[in-house]
Structure 1
Amino acid sequence: MKEVFLSTRDFPVDEKFGLVSQILRSAYSVPSNIAEGSGRSTNKEFARFLDIALGSAFELETQLILASDIGYLSENKLQEIQTLLQEIQKMIYSFKMNL
């Protein structure tokens, strides 16, 4: 999600504690929940953390769409990140279904 972090650098300074903060929290949440879940003792617990990671990925996508709609993120950059994010969403979902 390096692209997400780099793209928020160009957002207005007054969004540092608003949309930028929310985007970064969602972006951090995806791999963090996967990592935390992998350390759990059962597949059921791991699946719960994968659900949280997947929810954060969809939340992140929504926030990026909003950022594009208000002009903080170009349409090209949004499409580039969405492509990567949708692949991550598919991988998380597939991984969960194969536990």
Structure 2
Amino acid sequence: MAIKKFEDILVWQRAQALAVEIYENFGSLRDYGFREQITRASVSISNNIAEGFERSSNSDFVRFLYFASASNSEVRSMLYLSVKLNFISKEKASDLIDKTNEISKVLFGFIKSISKKE
């Protein structure tokens, strides 16, 4: 069955859930620059998936999935830093890092699947 709308894409749903968790954990952080960077990067994951889905070709979609992957990696990197800066507990960061790793796996599987169709 072909996906008819981006809202049906599992990795988009997971990226949205991750962004909500990032906002919940960093929304009141007093370090404005850090807070802005991690929240924007987290939102960028699902936004790139959505934007790519609406493009006219699979190669364009794949390009945006790579953008989503890069934003996901940025969030993961910032999560490691957030522990070192004592912005979040090691346990909570580990949970969120696991979620970014899962998103990464699904994104690369999706990229591989779409690339085979070309």
Matching residue of 1:73: 88
Q: Distance in 2 between matches of 1:82 and 1:23?
A: 13
TM-score (norm 2): 0.78
1:58 to 2:73 alignment: yes
Matching residue of 2:113: 98
Cα deviation digits, residues 24-56 of structure 1 (max 9, x gap): 110010000000000011110000000000000
How many residues align? The count is 96
Is residue 57–residue 85 contact of structure 1 (8 Å, CA) maintained in 2? yes
Matching residue of 2:26: 8
Q: Distance in 2 between matches of 1:82 and 1:93?
A: 17
* Identity over aligned pairs, percent: 30
TM-score (norm 1): 0.93
Supply the AA of the counterpart residue of 1:65: Y
Query: Which runs of 5 or more structure 2 residues have no equivalent in the other structure?
Result: 1-17
Q: Distance in 2 between matches of 1:10 and 1:81?
A: 17
1:33 to 2:48 alignment: yes
Is residue 10–residue 72 contact of structure 1 (8 Å, CA) maintained in 2? no
Query: Which runs of 5 or more structure 1 residues have no equivalent in the other structure?
Result: none
Runs of 4+ in 1 over 2 A off after TM superposition: none
1:43 to 2:58 alignment: yes
Aligned CA RMSD, in angstroms, stands at: 0.9
Supply the AA of the counterpart residue of 1:48: R
1:22 to 2:37 alignment: yes
